[in-house]
Amino acid sequence: MAAHYDAIVLGAGPAGLTAGIYLARARIKTLIVDEGIPGGQMITSYEVANYPGIAETSGAQIARAMVNQAKSFGCEILSQTEVVRYDFSGPLKEIEVEDEGVFTSKAIIIATGGLPRSLGLPSEALFKGKGISYCATCDGDFFTGKEIVAIGGGNAALEEAVSLAKYADKVTVIHEFDQFQAQPWAVDEAKKHPKIHFLMNQEVRGFEGKGRLEKVVTADKKTGEVTELPSEGCFIFIGYKPNTKQFSGLVTLNERGEIVTDDDMKTDVPGVFAAGDNRAKRYRQITTAVADGTIAALSVAEYIQSGAFVRQIAS
């Protein structure tokens, strides 16, 4: 038998949890469904120093507080489960959850987030959060006065290298080709910076250290010469992958696979909204995800309470 909610939020990262808090507090019956542990990528941040109003905390602590707050208002959370079917075609949106059955709702918020692209090396996973990071804004100041590495050759890699140079004594940019893919202005800015150095045409072979990252191992793609670069921090900027493949054909995605929305977080499907890092936008931070979740929840409340849902049924 199907269980019905006013709103279903897909994803329990900062965007989804914020949406759940706002919706439940407005007495809108809400279910959050997540295939992992509530908190999303936020829980991988060991230290968070730029969350407004909190001097220093961790992503996991913020996640726990958000989960408890959402539940205190009556929001239900179903985690570590798999959604096997989506149907957004009718006025009532429908999802089917493995071993749990079918759930319907008047509105859906897609907040499934995404992941920074990884190199896929076993040692990368080993040092994630222990010297390896994917966010200069989040973690750059933890490497003040240290020698660090930035991997990548696009605009993001070079822009973030310049940002990291505000903290680190030395930033070495490692790139797999002998030419950058970034815009000329980004290349010029990085090359002019006295703290930024370059190691080109390199294949990253692995990461080494005892407990925490101590060195990055690369090999020259032409000569095969191996370099062991001492480094206490490594930032990987080789792209970002939104978690949206399952929504292809259901809502409009752009060429990067990001969900296209307007400023109110509405997709092109009535009753379907999106929020957080899976949405087409420029900046991705915990705070921007929280903002998206807030707007999406308010838009859903308006959609339900204004009669737009009823008009959907009538049409």
Note whether 133 and 180 are same-domain residues: yes
Note whether 48 and 194 are same-domain residues: no
Q: Which secondary-structure segment (H or E) carries 288?
A: helix 286-305
Catalytic residue among 6, 75, 138, 234: 138
Note whether 111 and 122 are same-domain residues: no
- The per-residue pLDDT for 239 is 81
Catalytic residue among 6, 34, 139, 277: 139
193 closest CA partner among 174, 166, 218, 232: 166
> Which of 207, 236, 265 is a domain's end point?
236
Q: Report whether pLDDT(46) > 70.
A: no
DSSP state of 258: P
Active-site annotation holds for 234: no
For residue 292 the two structure tokens come to 């998206």
Note whether 213 and 292 are same-domain residues: no
16 closest CA partner among 7, 27, 28: 7
Q: Report whether pLDDT(34) > 70.
A: yes
Active-site annotation holds for 75: no
Separation between Cα atoms, residue 194 and residue 173, nearest integer Å: 13
The CATH number for 69's domain is: 3.50.50.60
Note whether 245 and 108 are same-domain residues: yes
- Across 267-272, average pLDDT: 97
The 10s digit of each residue's pLDDT in 136-178 is 877 888 999 999 999 999 988 998 899 899 999 999 999 999 9
Catalytic residue among 34, 135, 234, 277: 135
Note whether 256 and 302 are same-domain residues: yes
Chain centre distance of CA 30? 22
Note whether 40 and 180 are same-domain residues: no
Q: Report whether pLDDT(216) > 90.
A: yes
* Reported pTM: 0.76
> Which of 236, 253, 281 is a domain's end point?
236
Find the range with the poorest average confidence among 46-50, 107-111, 207-211, 282-286: 46-50
Active-site annotation holds for 138: yes
> Which of 236, 254, 278 is a domain's end point?
236
Task: Give the dihedral of Cα atoms 246, 247, 253, 255; nearest 10 deg.
Answer: 10
Note whether 212 and 71 are same-domain residues: no
User: What does the angle CA 270 – CA 271 – CA 272 come to, to the nearest 5 degrees?
Assistant: 95
Whole domain around residue 297: which residue ranges? 3-115+240-314
Q: Report which residue type is found at 149.
A: V
Note whether 87 and 151 are same-domain residues: no
